[in-house]
Structure 1
Amino acid sequence: MPEPHDLPRIDPAALPEPVDVSDTSVALAAVAAVVAAGPYEATWESLRGYTPPRWYEDAKFGVFLHWGVYSVPAFRNEWYSRDMYRAGTPEFEHHVATYGPQSEFGYKDFIPSFTMEHFDPQDWATLFRRAGAQFVVPVAEHHDGFAMYDTDRSRWSAARMGPERDVFGDLLQAVDDAFMVRGASSHRAEHWFFMNGGARFDSDVLDPRFIDFYGPAQREETAPNERHLEDWLLRTVEVIDKYRPQVLWFDWWIEQPAFEPWLRTLAAYYYNRAAEWGREVVINYKWQAFADGSAVYDIERGAMGDIPPVVWQNDTSVSKSAWCWIEGHDYKTARDLVAELVDVVAKNGVLLLNVGPKPDGTIAEPEQRLLEGIGRWLTANGEAIYGTRPWRVFGEGPTHVQAGSFVDGAAPAYTSEDVRFTTRHDVTGEYVYAVLLADPADGVARIRSFGSGTNLLGRPIRSVEVLGADGEPQWTQTATALEVVVPTGTDPDSGPVVKVWLRPEERQERTDSLHG
């Protein structure tokens, strides 16, 4: 890439013509017709009839992608487009020192350097399959307002500028070809205010030639007006209809009261469209944006304290410092990520794990290695994850995991006493899995919840197995624990996984009398 002062800039004369989206009446009428056709109505009462699909509950693990123009400056995080216009921030000072005044080199001027010339969607999909992902959720549009998909509602898209390719659509096709489920995330709601710092001093945000990119740039204290809400709805509908994602993920700002009726309309539209397609779909939301039971609750960089009655999702990143590609990431380890996955699944959750591609279309080597590390663990131990359900308790052990959002900054120092449980039922019987989050120093796994005195297993043990090890290990069940001799040091990313096969329940045979 050229030196910062040599980066090419947007040539206003060479831009595509602006798209006229002022008349929304026909598009809104089409949305209303789909809603009216059912089966879902745009009411919370009706939307609470939604049930999360089995494929999603079984999937357990998906890959998230934050890719966009913000990966060109690659400084601090994906909010560069906001903070470069906010005086006093590190981004503001960095921008002026590196690229010059915002009136001469604005955020739009990074677009020509966002080329993705090495983007290979099949390679990405192959990597995600090796990681064990069952679904893939690329960002369709982030807060910066640059669409990664081929939109008819804006000229500011990857299909018309930068790579001049529908990279979003190409990736989803590769995801389909690899038999994973396609998804999409929308961060458009926040664009209402996102660039407003640039309206407070001399910057290109005030240039009327670029209002269709930087606007609305309104005050964050104000509720979005109907124009913005209509545009948000119709852009989301466009993604639904053009790309048919089966996961639709929303970021945080949609919980503003002004969005409430539009959310109901959007959910009814999406669920009704899915019924037409014969597909089962998921909406992910944060905070209280949707009514309980109408979609799937998502916690950003978070954890649950116990097992909720319905499936939920944790969206997090391989990096502690940012979601997009930046220089100098503070990466988690594969061990951190495996423990996070196991903790989420044991608590009836699904993990959506983010990576941030570079502006040339490659995924950084450290992020590839982390995905492949998870994939290796899942190859050996995936039967304790995929298709499982929570057991009677999620786990045991001395290490406290903080519940709530944004709690993944410091990974817990797990011990061999920290265990997470899952269970599955199939035609061969009932199994309970115990994932030790560290190797026992003496080579003996002691699982207290499996002791005969707890009665949590409910039935006698038929056999015990350690996943990835040959033969049945030595094991003893006492009143206080199940003790299993396990191999240690074989997996750098986790402790051993113990599989317990329970005896079937006793059945009373009924003999019909032949005497009349």
Structure 2
Amino acid sequence: MTPLDLTALPDPVDVSDNSRALAEVAAVVTAGPFDATWDSLRRYTPPRWYEDAKFGIFLHWGVFSVPAFRNEWYSRDMYREGTPEYEHHIATYGPHREFGYKDFIPSFTMEHFDPAAWANLFRRAGAQFVVPVAEHHDGFAMYDTDRSRWSATKMGPERDVFGDLLAAVDDAWMVRGASSHRAEHWFFMNGGTRFDSDVLDPRTIDFYGPAQREETAPNERHLEDWLLRTVEIIDKYRPQVLWFDWWIEHPAFAEALKTLAAYYYNRAAEWGREVVINYKWEAFPDGAAVYDVERGALAGIRPVVWQNDTSVSKTAWSFVEGHDYKTVAEIIAELVDVVSKNGVLLLNVGPKSDGTIPEPEQRILEGVGAWLTRNGEAIYGSQPWTIPAEGPTEQQVGSFIDGAAPAWTSADIRFTSRHDVTGTYVYATLLATPDDGVARIRAFGSGSGLLPRPIRSVEVLGTGPVNSNTGGLNAFEDTPADGSGPVSWRQTPEALEVTIDGEVGPDSGPVVKIWLAPERPTERTDALHG
């Protein structure tokens, strides 16, 4: 592995005077419609396209994909004495003063990167939007930045891989996004200041710095740099999703966050686009942006849309050797649980340093896509139902709870719904297939009190003849109450019992769709047919 040639580096970028750039930001904020106050930012409304999308792809890619050891925090932990990364680094690459993190950059070539192939894979997976990491904690920009020489356009692949991928996302009719982890760079490399390492080399301070102590609040220069790097991503790439990691909740970021949010929302208004900011914990007040839970779950239905960001791997977000991958069934269970509670799932993959997506991750995405092809009407554009779930299996809630998936049973069910002029449709997704071939849904029993009107028809998605409305006059014909017809079912006071005929696929139980009678069928039929 060839170390970085410091004599061949581009010249450092002078970012000491930010006054003009900050004035331009202030002008956009002043122009409105949002100003840099929480009261103004609480007027934000999440876009309908995002609420309907339900599923997006996240990408963690970067220099950390070269060592591919343990996780994407290699650049921090390799400089922390006593960690497995520290010991691995010395044993594999030698002393830190001779081979540091920067020396992985020449091997970060992405020579097989095919943005169109990636975008087509994400489209087949059923994703509606794509959020690549623009810059991770390590400070290496994956986009074309004018604020640093340490970027993929100037080193490593020497290509705007970020921009090329977003262009391919556009071509595949998905929505482009971006994530920034720049805030954490304030302290990220500071372990290397505590012993003889290349972090102390003044020739590379613009890469490793600030490398300050995590106990200290970031100073004005770092806050300005964070703001202007984020503004640069907004203006150059026009992402419609902007995702932030946790450290923006540090109180020192509050004023910069308000300015950034007002700038982004105002710029989006200029473009005629609706946008989303994702935040964790308490970085934003309710209503000012979209709440994000990392690798988590909520206990019930959140009244406004939220997001769960998770990964195909239980081990790491980036590519590493020896991943502990989730199964497609585990990911489908996460997806339907999130959607049943008014959420959106952002699912991460981690490309290799050569620009390929690992085959196991491709297979997982294809599996998710196959399930959504059969059952997507229970997900896309759906709304929460009266209750999100039923079943005996206890579910953990909060963040970082996806390490050990529950052993779901066929009695564990998640509910979604949709409404139009032909009536109400309620979907029950069983998280496992019943051994006896009969789905039993207690919430649909005549004694549950949860169904406001009689059941008109029952269908199992993706298993054969349709026995429900697809439009037309026959949409209002009753299915016989004894369940005779294409799908055999009966409603008792205790449950709706549906016989599952046909293959439902290996990655979840059946999805049962019921159609409830319209309140005023005659008028609604007339509305359908003019």
Gaps of 5+ in 2: 466-485, 524-530
| Aligned position for 1:496 | 510
Q: Is the 8 A contact 1:345 1:390 kept in 2?
A: yes
Q: Give secondary structure in 1 for the equivalent of 2:324.
A: coil
- For 2:426 and 2:239, locate their aligned partners in 1 and report how far apart those are by CA, in whole Å: 33
Provide the C-alpha distance between the structure 2 equivalents of 1:484 and 1:459, rounded to a whole number of angstroms: 19
Give the structure 1 partner of residue 101 of structure 2.
107
CA drift of 1:401 comes to 1.2
Counterpart of 2:126 in structure 1 is: 132
Kindly provide the CA deviation profile for residues 120-174 of structure 1, in whole angstroms up to 9, marking residues without a partner as x. Answer: 0000000000000000000000000000000000000000000000000000000
Q: Secondary structure at the match of 1:28?
A: helix
What's the TM-score, normalizing by structure 1?
0.97
Separation of aligned partners in 2, 1:306 and 1:339: 15
Q: 1:8 aligns to what SS in structure 2? A: coil
> Does residue 1:380 correspond to 2:380, yes or no?
no
1:297-376 matches, cutoff 5 A: 297-376=291-370
Contact 2:113 2:355 in 1 (8 A): yes
Identify the residue that residue 290 of structure 2 maps to in structure 1: 296
432 and 490 in structure 1: CA distance in 2 versus 1, 3 angstrom threshold:
closer
Q: Aligned to 1:258, what secondary structure does the other structure show?
A: helix
Alignment partner, residue 215 of structure 1: 209
Counterpart of 1:122 in structure 2: which amino acid? A
CA distance in 2, matches of 1:417, 1:490: 16
Structure-2 residue corresponding to 1:473: 487
Q: CA shift at 1:488, angstroms?
A: 6.3
Task: Note the C-alpha offset of 1:237.
Answer: 0.1
Match of 2:457 among 454, 463, 487: 463
| 8 Å Cα contact 2:422-2:518 kept in structure 1 | no
- 1:427 equivalent in structure 2: 421
Q: Mean alpha-carbon deviation: is it higher for 99-108 or for 470-479?
A: 470-479
Q: Could you tell me the percent identity over the aligned residues?
A: 79
Change (3 A) 1:353 1:462: same
AA partner of residue 33 (structure 2):
P
**Counterpart contact for 2:463–2:503, Cα < 8 Å:** no
**Partner-residue secondary structure (3-state), 1:151:** coil
Q: CA RMSD in A?
A: 1.0
Equivalent residues in 2 for 1:476-487, closer than 5 Å: 476-487=490-501
Task: Report if the CA contact (8 A) 2:293-2:399 is conserved.
Answer: yes
> Which residue of structure 1 aligns with residue 229 of structure 2?
235
Contact 2:187 2:210 (C-alpha < 8 Å) held by counterparts: yes
CA apart distance, 1:508: 10
Letter in 1 for 2:311: S
What is the identity, as a one-letter code, of the residue corresponding to 1:503? A
Question: How many Å separate the matches in 2 of 1:259 and 1:85?
Answer: 26
Q: Give the letter aligned to residue 480 of structure 1.
A: E
1:146 is aligned, of 136, 140, 160, to 140
Amino acid of the residue matched to residue 212 of structure 1? D
1:505 aligns with 2:505: no
| 2:297 aligned with 1:283 | no
Aligned AA for 1:435?
Answer: T
**Aligned residue pairs, count:** 503
Deviation of the 1:457 alpha carbon: 1.3
SS at match of 2:411: coil
For the residues of structure 2 that align with 1:187 and 1:37, how far apart are their CA atoms?
A: 28
Task: Compute the displacement of 1:506 (Å).
Answer: 4.1
Per-residue deviation at 1:232?
Answer: 0.1
Secondary structure in 2 matching 1:77: coil
1:159 aligns with 2:153: yes
Partner secondary structure for residue 456 of structure 2 = strand
Query: For residues 468 and 499 of structure 1, what CA distance do their matches in structure 2 show?
Result: 11
Give SS of 1:430's match.
Answer: strand
8 A Cα contact 1:318 1:354, kept in partner: yes
What amino acid sits opposite 2:432 in the alignment?
A
> After the TM superposition, which of the residue ranges 368-377 and 455-464 deviates more from structure 2?
455-464
Which residue is equivalent to 1:67?
61
Q: What 5-or-longer segments of structure 1 have no aligned partner? A: 1-6, 510-516
CA distance in 1, matches of 2:318, 2:283: 25
Report the Cα offset of residue 427 of structure 1. Answer: 3.1
Verify: 1:78 aligned to 2:92, yes or no. Answer: no
- From 71, 76, 82, the equivalent of 1:88 is 82
Q: Give TM-score scaled by structure 2 length.
A: 0.94
Equivalent in 432, 442, 448 of residue 438 of structure 1: 432
